[in-house]
C-alpha cells in the first residue's frame, strides 16, 4: 500500500491588518476613478536594494495573483510574488504622520530611512 504524503498548506500570499484594510477602503472610496483594488509589488532601488510599491488597480494584469482580504482586493505583481509570500500589510499612525508598513518574513534588512529593504525570495516546496 502506497501512502500519499499530505499536501502542504499553500502559504498565505499576503494579509491585511484591520487598520490597513480600513485605510485602503477609505482611500479607494475617495479616489477619482473606478478601482477594483490595490496593486502591491517591489521595485529595484534605494540603498538597501528594493522598495515596496502600492498603486490603484482597475483589473488584474496577466499572471497576477489576486487575494481578497477583509473586503479588499490585492493584486500582486508576478515579479514580486516570491518576495511577498507571508507578508502582512499594516497601517500605523505616528506622531509625525501615518504610513503603510510591510511586515515581511522574507525581509533581511532595511535602510535607516525606511524607504528601501533587502528581501530574499521565499523558498516554496515544489510538489
Give the Cα separation of 81 and 8 in Å (integer): 18
Residue 3 lies in a domain: no
Residue 2 lies in a domain: no
Residue 87 lies in a domain: yes
**Mean pLDDT across the chain, nearest whole number?**
84
Residue 107 lies in a domain: yes
User: What would the DSSP string read from start to end of 51-116?
Assistant: EEEEEEESSPPTT-EEEEETTEEEEE-GGGHHHHTTEEEEEEEETTEEEEEEE-TTEEEE-TTSS-
Residue 56 lies in a domain: yes
Predicted confidence at residue 117, as pLDDT, reads: 62
Q: Residues 12-59: pLDDT tens digits?
A: 789 999 999 999 999 999 998 889 999 999 888 777 678 889 999 999
Question: What is the CATH classification number for the domain harbouring 85?
Answer: 2.60.300.12
Residue 5 lies in a domain: no
Residue 1 lies in a domain: no
Structural domain count, the chain: 1
Predicted confidence at residue 27, as pLDDT, reads: 93
Q: Which domain holds residue 110?
A: 14-119
Q: What is the pTM of this model?
A: 0.78
Residue 6 lies in a domain: no
Amino acid at each position: 500500500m502506497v501512502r500519499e504524503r499530505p499536501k502542504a498548506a499553500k502559504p498565505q500570499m499576503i494579509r491585511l491588518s484591520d487598520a490597513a484594510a480600513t485605510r485602503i477602503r477609505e482611500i479607494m472610496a475617495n479616489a477619482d476613478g473606478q478601482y477594483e483594488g490595490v496593486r502591491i509589488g517591489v521595485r529595484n532601488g534605494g540603498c538597501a536594494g528594493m522598495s515596496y510599491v502600492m498603486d490603484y488597480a482597475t483589473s488584474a494584469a496577466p499572471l497576477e495573483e489576486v487575494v481578497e482580504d477583509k473586503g479588499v482586493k490585492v493584486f500582486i505583481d508576478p515579479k514580486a510574488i516570491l518576495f511577498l509570500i507571508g507578508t502582512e500589510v499594516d497601517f500605523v499612525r505616528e506622531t509625525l504622520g501615518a504610513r503603510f508598513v510591510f511586515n515581511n518574513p522574507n525581509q533581511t534588512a532595511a535602510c535607516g530611512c525606511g524607504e528601501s529593504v533587502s528581501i530574499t525570495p521565499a523558498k516554496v516546496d515544489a510538489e
